[in-house]
Amino acid sequence: MKICVREYTENDIERMIEIWNEVVNEGNAFPQDTPLDKKSGKTFFNEQSFCGVAEAADDNTILGLYILHPNNVGRCGHISNASYAVAADSRGKGIGRLLVKHCIAVAKRLGFGVLQFNAVVKTNYSALKLYKDLGFTPLGEIPMGFRMKNGDYEAIIPHYILL
């Protein structure tokens, strides 16, 4: 299957909300615990510095997405942050890798100097492997940094890569 990553359009937002909410509802990767609705989703995605979508070339189905934005302001505004979501039925096909690589290129183009992930959950093994493969540096564990859907706490491992 050929997949392209491109900037999102307004026509993509409904599917982006579905995929985002799928990850939120799984409760093991995103810090958000409230799903997006049509209005909040449109606002959320429009507020980002960039949103990319992974699209199947044969039928234009959106399979995943990412958001990119500053991690902080002012003197730390050169550090970007991103989140990635891949539809459950499309995971394990290399879509996350395509999204992260595209995100790195876009972050550079937008003038960011660093891409940082604040809260990679320790049990998110596929993300940890991907970030290692792509050259991200882990910064150590923060115990009890993430509340899982079942109420238990898990460590998080912040990561960064110089752009």
Give all domains of the chain, ordered by start, each with its CATH number.
3-118 (3.40.630.30)
Burial 18-36 (b: 16+ CB within 10 A, else e): ebbbebbeeeebbeeeeeb
Tell me the whole-structure pTM to 2 decimals.
Answer: 0.96
pLDDT by residue for the chain (163 residues), tens only, comes to 899 999 999 999 999 999 999 999 999 999 999 999 999 999 999 999 999 999 999 999 999 999 999 999 999 999 999 999 999 999 999 999 999 999 999 999 999 999 999 999 999 999 999 999 999 999 999 999 999 999 999 999 999 999 9
- d(Cα 148, Cα 101) in Å, to the nearest integer? 27
